[in-house]
Structure formats: structure tokens, C-alpha cells
Amino acid sequence: MIFAKKTLSISLLAFAAWGACAQAADLKIGALFPMSGPNATYGDIFGTGANLAAEHINADKILKEKLTIQYEDSQALPQQGVIGMNKLVNVTKVPYVLSAFTGVSKAISTTAARTKTVAINGGGVGPDLADLGPYFWNIIPLANFEVKAIIPYLIKERKLKRFVLVYVDDPLGASIRKEMTDTLPKAGGELVEALSVPASSQQFSGIAARVRAAKPDAIYIASYGSQEAQIVKQFRDNGLKQQLVSYSAFSIPEINKLPEAAGALYTTQNVDWNSTDPVTKRFVDDYKKKYNKMPTAYVANYYNAVRLFGLLAQQLEKQGKPVTGENLLAQRIETKTFDLVGGKATFASNGTVISAMQVNEVDGKGGKVVSVVSQ
């Protein structure tokens, strides 16, 4: 697995270098993904979706030019994200940037707005990402949708009412705490304890003791990357047997293969991987052929983010308009619906995609769907 991760990271960097050397006629977009550090696994996953979409767009000749993606390493950190965004906007001069992680996305949003560059997020889920202005779009349902989808299911179907939240001390964790505080009482549940952990922390035996003392029915984990895997493992090692719950950050191989995570529940947007819809079927078939495994929601998000750019740019080119951030925004508002992986997609007026949600269970095989929730 380590070899595979390194290989994919190298391939992303190679793709970036190749893009930098591409001919001037190429049409470039940017991507701010973590390609190093503890969250590099997300960059690997995101890149497989984005690259596959670019391959399909180029194979279909949707655009007059060849589409390339210029990758910059955000390390999932706001400061590094801003450095990468400035390079993409001021040096490479891309009109469209793929973003990820709530903190990074918020940090780059002012540059996106000032330069009229579209930034599209497929990984961060902080609800305030919906309020970052017209040039910041979300191709992933945000945490408020994720929490609202799973809480009624847990209370009504699983009969779980007392919750402890363990959340990372950053904008993502704070947003999920607010949503849990608002949603649980209305659904008939109770947040009996909310425990924050520093983003760099990897030791949780003390937190486990406080969770045990609170005697919850379920433990909601709002973290990501290697930290969330450590939380799960150390909670089980410390004898906590309660139902574990989380959001879309659980849809990564490190969690899925973790024995201690078996049976944990988490939300993603609803995608029928067996759909005969041509866009979805091609995406699933080609991804399985290329990587010998099923895609995940994150892969679909960044495939859709790049495909959305291709569809918008195609319309602009047909009209003889330059592919600028300003024109991409106007075309998205005018087009209304798009054929993406998962079916037809629409955007709310704030630029956030509207989607049904599903509750998944960690089963060691990529996750199985246990409930679909319309929003």
C-alpha cells in the first residue's frame, strides 16, 4: 500500500510537470491537493478522479484544446494552500481551481473572489463553505447535509439517542459541532459531551476515558486522515464498544481496511455505482479497469468537478467566448443542470450541489449502503 501511495503521488507530480511543459495551446486548470504530509492519501484519491475526467474529456475532444491539470501541493494546510493558489492564479493564470479541505478552501476563497477565478471544492464539508461568494462552488454536499441525513437514521432506525462528539480543533470540527448541537435536540437526541482534539494529536487514551465516563450510545468522530484512524483504533483498544459514526472522510482505504472500524457508519452523497446512466457507467467501468477497485464518493466528486469544467468550457467555446472564471460562472448559472456521475446535478444559488445522501457501513470491501436519504 505504501508503494502504491508513493507511486500515485509520483504520478501526480509527473502529471503536474508534464502539464507545465505542455504546449501553450493547452487549456489548463489548477488543483490544490495534499500531495505530502499526513493527508497525502486524500490527494492520491482526489487525483485519480480528476485525471480520469481529463482523460475522458480529451479522448472525446469535448474542447478545442487539450485539457491539462496543474497540481500544487497544499499539504492540507491553509498557508500552503494560499501559496499554491497564488502560483496558479498569478503565474499559470488558470480560470478554474480544484480545492479540498475546509481550512484550505476558506483561505483561498478571497483570492478566488478578487481574481474572478472559480474555485470548486470536492472534499471539504464545513457548512460555511457555502457562503464564500459566487466564485466558490461545492461539488460535494456540506457537513450540515451529512449530519442532518444520518442523525434521524441513527435515532429512529438504530435507537441511538445519547451522542458524544470527538472533533478536530479546526473549522471543519467546529462546523460539525455546531450542526450536531442544532440538529440533535430537534431529532430527539442529546449531545452529552463534545471533546476537541488538536489537529496534530495522535494519542487518544485520555479522550477515550472521558468518552467512557459520558456513557453515550454513539460516538461521532469529526476528524480526517491518519488521525481519525488512530482515534478509531485507540477507542477500540481502550474498550469502547459503542457505535462509531462519521462523515464522508471515512470513505478512504485506511479506514475501510481497519478491523477496528468494521460496522462504523458514515455518510456520503448518494451514487448508484450499478447505474446504467452512460456517464456513471463509463466512469465506474474505466476506474475499475485502471485501478482494479471500485471508486469512492471522493473520486466521483473530483471527476465531476473536472467534467463540469469541460461541459461549461465547451459551451463557451461554441459561443466564441473566452474561458474565464467570470464566463464560467455565468454559464453555470444559465445551464442549470449537468449530466455528471450519479445523474443530473443542480446547484443551489450559493453554488453548492444539491444531492440525495446515503448512509454507508464500513465492511472492509469499500463500504455498503444501508440507507438512502433525500434532502
- Side-chain-side CA neighbours of 263 within 13 Å: the count stands at 10
pLDDT digits over 176-211, tens only?
Answer: 999 999 999 999 999 999 999 998 899 999 999 999
Cell of residue 149, nine digits: 441525513
Share of the chain above pLDDT 70, in %: 93
Count the Cβ atoms, other than its own, within 10 Å of residue 366: 16
pLDDT tier at 143 (50, 70, 90 boundaries)?
confident
Query: What is the Cα–Cα distance from 326 to 330, expressed in whole angstroms?
Result: 6
pLDDT tier at 144 (50, 70, 90 boundaries)?
confident
Q: Say what the pLDDT of residue 145 is.
A: 87
Question: What is the DSSP code string of 81-118?
Answer: HHHHHHIIIIII--SEEEE-SHHHHHHHHHHHHHHT-E
DSSP conformational letter for 7? H
Average pLDDT over residues 336-361: 91
Q: Say what the pLDDT of residue 1 is.
A: 36
Average pLDDT over residues 120-149: 91
pLDDT tier at 10 (50, 70, 90 boundaries)?
very low
User: Whose CA is closest to 120, among 325, 280, 362?
Assistant: 325
Query: What is the Cα–Cα distance from 78 to 81, expressed in whole angstroms?
Result: 5
Cell of residue 200, nine digits: 496534530
List CB contacts of 181: < 8 A, sequence separation 6 or more. Answer: 191, 194
Which amino acid makes up residue 336? K
pTM: 0.81
pLDDT digits over 82-96, tens only?
Answer: 999 999 999 999 999
Average pLDDT over residues 242-255: 92
List CB contacts of 187: < 8 A, sequence separation 6 or more. Answer: 151, 152, 155
Count the Cβ atoms, other than its own, within 10 Å of residue 190: 12
Average pLDDT over residues 337-348: 91
pLDDT tier at 336 (50, 70, 90 boundaries)?
confident
126, 152 in Cβ contact below 8 A?
Answer: no
3-state DSSP assignment of residue 219: strand
Report the chain's mean pLDDT, rounded to a whole number. Answer: 91
pLDDT tier at 6 (50, 70, 90 boundaries)?
very low
63, 115 in Cβ contact below 8 A?
Answer: no
Question: What is the DSSP code string of 19-81?
Answer: HHTS-TTSEEEEEEE--SSTTHHHHHHHHHHHHHHHHHHHHHT-SSS-EEEEEEE-TT-HHHH
